[in-house]
Amino acid sequence: MNSLTLSTGFTYRILALSGALLLTACASQVPALIKDAPPDDLSLARAQHDAEKHQGKAVRWGGTIITTQNQQDKTEVTILAKPLDSRGEPREGDHSYGRFIALVNGFLDPAIYAPGRSVTVYGKYEKLLPKKIDNFDYNYPVIAVSQLYLWDVPPKYDYYDNPYWYDPWYPWSPYYGPYRHRR
- Residue, of 64 and 165, whose pLDDT is higher: 64
Q: 157 in a domain, yes or no?
A: no
pLDDT in tens, 78-108: 999 999 998 989 998 888 889 999 999 999 9
Closest by CA position to 98, among listed 75, 72, 114, 79? 79
- If one counts the domains in the chain, the total is 2
Q: 168 in a domain, yes or no?
A: no
The answer on 111 and 26 residing in a single domain is no
Domain that holds residue 3: 1-30
The answer on 57 and 9 residing in a single domain is no
Q: Are 101 and 123 in contact (CB under 8 A)?
A: no
Q: How buried is 128 (Cβ within 10 angstroms: 0-12 exposed, 13-18 middle, 19+ buried)?
A: buried
pLDDT in tens, 14-53: 766 666 665 555 555 888 888 888 888 888 888 888 888 8
The answer on 140 and 85 residing in a single domain is yes
